[in-house]
């Protein structure tokens, strides 16, 4: 995509995000709800799902969330969540009914699904690192039943679950390019493997049959590690790191850093025109108005 942007041009009203609410333990997985002008986000370690809106402030959406982490909306407006506690991908309908979509691969339990996106064809893509089963602070300690940590695709029409790539040591955040011809996946394995691990966003071409090509490094994310991220309509990547949101071009060039005073876990685009960036960071939810709009294919509810 032939697009050039200067970092200063990204911002509509200044470079410093506003703290919208605080008081959670580990904020994660923000998702925008257009019709209610609200953002949902998980408190993974607090085992709750919260809702924030300018009109009502912070309220509890789910008092017990099964240690949910990443969230997204499917094409029908259902909330798709990664649950560490039940080691599953769940679906919550607009009327509040929650069902488990998938919790195993060939009869072996998933590790602890972490982040999720929905493709325009309705397929659900998610990452499955072990963080929810390493201890009891954001899940339940258990032995892994699956060799490795993978990126999966779930087809809600057929019930098929497929491993799409094993070329990520500790997959976390993921997102598609605007044309869906590239899948980006965060690898934060440097935390567990200080000399052999990665702190990068890897990119995979999406072939015509839906399979993924060989992975390659798009960019190194520092300071800290990459966690969740989102992509704007021009293909620029807004990625979490220890000091805020690092912004990269589609070719991996770092444009700059949006500073946040707490360690950032994830972000999502929202607002009336998808140009407001919501940021989950440790105990708080932040927001900043941008000139660019975000890619949120399924988030139309």
Annotation: binding site: 28, 114, 137, 172, 227
Q: Which residues of 210-245 are buried (b: 16+ CB within 10 A; e: fewer)?
A: eebeebeebbebeebbbbbbbbbbbbbbbbbbebbb
Instruction: Identify which of 60, 55, 23 has the alpha carbon closest to the alpha carbon of residue 40.
Output: 60
Which residues are annotated binding-site positions for substrate?
114, 137
Cβ neighbors of 219 (< 8 A, separation 6 or more) are 200, 201, 237, 248, 252, 253, 254
Peptide bond preceding 223: is omega within 30 degrees of 0, i.e. cis? yes
Torsion angle (degrees, nearest 10) of CA 196, 265, 294, 299: 110
Which residues are annotated binding-site positions for a divalent metal cation?
28, 172, 227
Radius of gyration of the chain (CA): 17
Q: Are 224 and 190 in contact (CB under 8 A)?
A: no
Q: Which residues are catalytic?
A: 227
Give the other-Cβ count within 10 Å of 163's Cβ: 14
C-alpha 55/C-alpha 40 separation (Å) is 14
């Amino acid at each position: 995509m032939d697009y050039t942007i200067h970092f200063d041009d990204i911002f509509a009203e200044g470079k410093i995000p506003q703290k919208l609410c605080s008081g959670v333990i580990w904020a994660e997985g923000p998702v925008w709800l257009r019709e209610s002008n609200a953002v949902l986000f998980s408190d993974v370690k607090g085992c709750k799902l919260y809702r924030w809106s300018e009109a009502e402030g912070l309220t509890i959406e789910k008092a017990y969330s099964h240690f949910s982490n990443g969230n997204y909306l499917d094409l029908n407006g259902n909330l798709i969540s990664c649950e560490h506690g039940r080691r599953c991908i769940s679906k919550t309908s607009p009327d509040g009914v929650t069902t488990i979509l998938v919790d195993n691969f060939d009869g072996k339990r998933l590790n602890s699904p972490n982040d999720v996106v929905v493709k325009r064809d309705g397929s659900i893509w998610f990452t499955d690192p072990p963080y929810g089963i390493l201890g009891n602070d954001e899940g339940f300690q258990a032995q892994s039943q699956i060799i490795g940590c993978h990126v999966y695709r779930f087809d809600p029409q057929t019930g098929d679950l497929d491993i799409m790539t094993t070329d990520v040591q500790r997959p976390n955040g993921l997102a598609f390019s605007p044309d869906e011809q590239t899948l980006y996946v965060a690898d934060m394995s440097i935390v567990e493997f200080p000399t052999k691990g990665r702190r990068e966003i890897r990119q995979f071409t999406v072939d015509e049959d839906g399979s993924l090509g060989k992975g390659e490094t798009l960019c190194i994310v520092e300071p800290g590690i990459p966690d969740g991220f989102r992509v704007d309509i021009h293909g620029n990547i807004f990625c979490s790191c220890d000091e805020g949101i690092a912004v990269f071009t589609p070719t991996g060039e770092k444009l700059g850093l949006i500073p946040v005073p707490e360690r950032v876990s994830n972000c999502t685009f929202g607002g009336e025109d998808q140009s407001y960036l919501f940021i989950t960071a440790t105990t708080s939810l932040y927001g900043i108005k941008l000139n660019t709009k975000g890619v949120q294919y399924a988030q139309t509810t």
